[in-house]
Amino acid sequence: MRAQNLTLLTDLYELTMMQGYFKNPTDQVVVFDAFYRKNPSGGAYAIMAGLDQVIEYIRDLHFSPDDVDYLRSLHMFDEDFLEYLRGFHFTGDIYAIPEGTVIFPREPLVKVIAPVMEAQLVETALLNIINHQCLIATKASRVCYAAQGDGVMEFGLRRAQGPDAGIYGARAAMIGGCIGTSNVLTGKMFDVPVKGTHAHSWIMSFPDEYTAFKTYANLYPDACILLVDTYDVLESGIPNALRVFREMRDCGLSMKGYGIRIDSGDLAYLSKKAYDMLAAEGFEDAIISASSDLDEYLINSMKMQGAKVNSWGVGTKLITSNDCPAFGGVYKLAAIKRSGSEKFEPKIKLSENTEKVTNPGNKTIYRVYDKESGKIRADLICLAEETFDDQEDMILFDPHETWKKTKVKGGSYTLRELLVPIFKKGICVYTSPSVMEIRDICTHEKNTLWDESRRLVNPQTVYVDLSDKLYKMKSDLLEEMSNKALEE
């Protein structure tokens, strides 16, 4: 992985607030929650990603001499504060949901417990990392779901919004379910499969299509995917590809990983015609790959049309999450522990928009699974000190529409706490799995969703509920603040 100091990857107001806290000393320890409010692309879930880069960022969090000199040049910061920054490092605790986990709105993805200056500084970079990678992992998950088990390759580097978006977007796409990426640097950095074929320019640089195909087959006999739409798919591309495949077969080659790619035209129609032509020559096991501005909706439509594509190259609309370009994660203060106190004082943000009212307190999350099927029944956000017995009945209710209740009988469900320790007192206590291991975790996680919650259009919402204790705390705070407003 690249060594890159991201300490100044922050909004200026994080630093101006830090100086404000420095000038008005406080021993406050605070709890901040990073969460999102709405699932991307109209789905019912998202995928957690980006934690490994967050760990790298926190580990390397320091102000270099050049950083301090730059801040001095802004003429906004006093020398005593700049001197403090020279020795700055993170000393707090961080809890997070592991990468690859299915996640839902309003639940803390990352919880930071730290002195207020430290917790404030990390906000921007943390959101930048988590928002982007969760977004792309979620989009990849949807695309792979539409492909119904076919391999999906991430091909989006040239359309990504810059190098980092291309590198870490490809990483996130692998977590979401892709089988490989065209991005060679991502392959090197994260030890994931890199895949690709050739461009139309390869064909055009030769005297004729057959010679181009034959030359490529000689170079890569075990990965011979021929791009057949440079001139005419059915009249030229497929016949020339068949000629090469017959010659490979006659030479006794293993014919592993061979096939065609179609990058334009009516992909469903052409794939069916191409399959018929290939099967007639005994090549019914050939890979038929499609690309050309694909997304989950187009892939789903082609499946419904009986397309014979069994491999998909997805670029622009995956790496940019074309239909939903922002994840919308936020970072909100949830509790304060004042000097001399052993307890956290809950904090809440009010808004005229109900969905923007935050959940107060130092919290954790339990996932409730149906014991028989292993599927998710609900997520329960509760206070960190709460414990539950899965042998006892549990009443779940919608915190916004409280009349919606369900009883989960004791012994019929299991519980899993989602937030795990990442940093304790500034020391990393968590080891990230490899990207391919996270991909396997994500595959298992997606299988814990009911089919109704995975469908692309109008999916069934997964319930995210509050414990009775947390709901009462929130209600009491809202009532208290409402009464104060009336008194003023």
The mean per-residue pLDDT over the stretch 378-397 comes to: 96
Q: Which domain holds residue 211?
A: 197-292
Interatomic CA distance for residues 50 and 171, integer angstroms: 9
Does residue 472 share a domain with residue 370?
Answer: yes
Does residue 461 share a domain with residue 334?
Answer: yes
Does residue 336 share a domain with residue 228?
Answer: no
The string of pLDDT tens digits covering residues 234-253 is 999 999 999 999 999 999 98
Does residue 90 share a domain with residue 24?
Answer: yes
Give the three-state DSSP class for 456.
Answer: coil
147 domain-assigned:
no
Does residue 123 share a domain with residue 244?
Answer: no
380 domain-assigned:
yes
Looking up residue 17, the CATH number of its domain turns out to be: 3.20.140.10
Interatomic CA distance for residues 344 and 202, integer angstroms: 64
What is the average pLDDT value for the chain, to the nearest integer? 96
How many domains are there within the chain? 2
The candidate with the shortest Cα–Cα distance to 76, out of 123, 120, 119, 17, is 17
Does residue 229 share a domain with residue 89?
Answer: no
Does residue 366 share a domain with residue 287?
Answer: no
Interatomic CA distance for residues 475 and 488, integer angstroms: 20
Does residue 215 share a domain with residue 275?
Answer: yes
The mean per-residue pLDDT over the stretch 335-359 comes to: 89
Interatomic CA distance for residues 331 and 116, integer angstroms: 13
The pLDDT assigned to 146 comes to 98
Does residue 469 share a domain with residue 342?
Answer: yes
Question: 166 falls in which pLDDT band (50, 70, 90)?
Answer: very high
Burial of 50 (0-12, 13-18, 19+ CB in 10 A): buried
Interatomic CA distance for residues 289 and 229, integer angstroms: 12
Does residue 131 share a domain with residue 228?
Answer: no
The pLDDT assigned to 100 comes to 98
Q: Is the pLDDT of residue 432 over 60?
A: yes
pTM > 0.85: yes
Does residue 368 share a domain with residue 257?
Answer: no
Does residue 356 share a domain with residue 242?
Answer: no
Looking up residue 222, the CATH number of its domain turns out to be: 3.20.20.70
